[in-house]
A = this chain, B = another copy of it.
């Protein structure tokens, strides 16, 4: 009995035709800006529009493996590289989100360091890093955030419901920086505290008190691990050489680094 026969014999009416895809929100920081990896669609629907990299889940592939494969195909990064973080974000399955048929998409979220090659995809699709600012995203679904003034037509840039997926991914990323050391996935193996602070400032889109940030990250156990080395030169605009650190072994930050007061967005 083939799989198809089994399927048909079991109870065909109970298995409405559904396709399952994996989409990946790949975030990185380039030029002090939070960027997302997008690919331009070469076919209908939404032909010519930007979309999140993704595709159908293969028959013998785990969901996470599919996401890893998509990530590797588009970035050239072997996702086994330890410096990449990949986690499941959420699933999206509104009945008509894809006009062709019922498609349920399992979205993943990835943090990668600034890559040398600018998204050298292995296939023919055009892909690019796009700054998330200026995409005019809707609110994250479950996130009780302050309403964002949405520029008309701005989200039309993204295909399907990918603007929503991206918004949810951004909210997850912002939140994850609070209580996990994942900010270190955006920088190199060795980094300065100022580099790390700029990651936080970029993702949170807020400025932080340098002194307090310094004190804080050094006081959280397991967050930073000293290399004993400093940078070769001071900053490009002056200032002393800074010490280099590695990510420590903490998987949760305690106490957490909380975002600057979101008092307004709590209700």
- The residues of A with any CB-CB pair to B shorter than 8 Å are 3-4, 6-7, 10, 14-20, 56-63, 87-88, 90-95, 100-102, 104, 106, 142, 144, 221-222, 249-254, 262-263, 265-267
Asked if residues B94 and A106 are in contact (CB atoms below 8 Å), the reply is: no
User: Whole-angstrom distance between the alpha carbons of A185 and B92 in the complex?
Assistant: 25
User: Whole-angstrom distance between the alpha carbons of A16 and B88 in the complex?
Assistant: 21
- A142 proximity list for chain B (CB < 8 A): 87
User: For chain A, what secondary structure do more than half of its interface residues adopt (helix, strand, loop), or is it mixed?
Assistant: loop
Given A62-B95, A101-B3, also A266-B222 (CB < 8 A): yes
Asked if residues A20 and B18 are in contact (CB atoms below 8 Å), the reply is: yes
Asked if residues A106 and B87 are in contact (CB atoms below 8 Å), the reply is: no
Asked if residues A93 and B57 are in contact (CB atoms below 8 Å), the reply is: yes
Residue of B nearest to A14 (CB): B56
Q: How many copies does the complex hold?
A: 2
- A6 proximity list for chain B (CB < 8 A): 100-101
- A92 proximity list for chain B (CB < 8 A): 63
Given A16-B59, A63-B91, A91-B106, also A267-B254 (CB < 8 A): no
User: Whole-angstrom distance between the alpha carbons of A59 and B58 in the complex?
Assistant: 22
Asked if residues A267 and B222 are in contact (CB atoms below 8 Å), the reply is: yes
Partner of A254, one of B93, B253, B262: B262
Q: Which of A7, A62, A91, A251 has the most CB of B within 10 A?
A: A91
Residue of B nearest to A249 (CB): B267
- A10 proximity list for chain B (CB < 8 A): 100-101
Given A18-B19, A254-B262, also A63-B101 (CB < 8 A): no
Given A57-B104, A252-B262: 11 more A-B contacts, CB < 8 Å: A18-B19, A20-B104, A59-B102, A63-B91, A63-B92, A88-B90, A91-B106, A144-B251, A221-B266, A251-B266, A251-B267
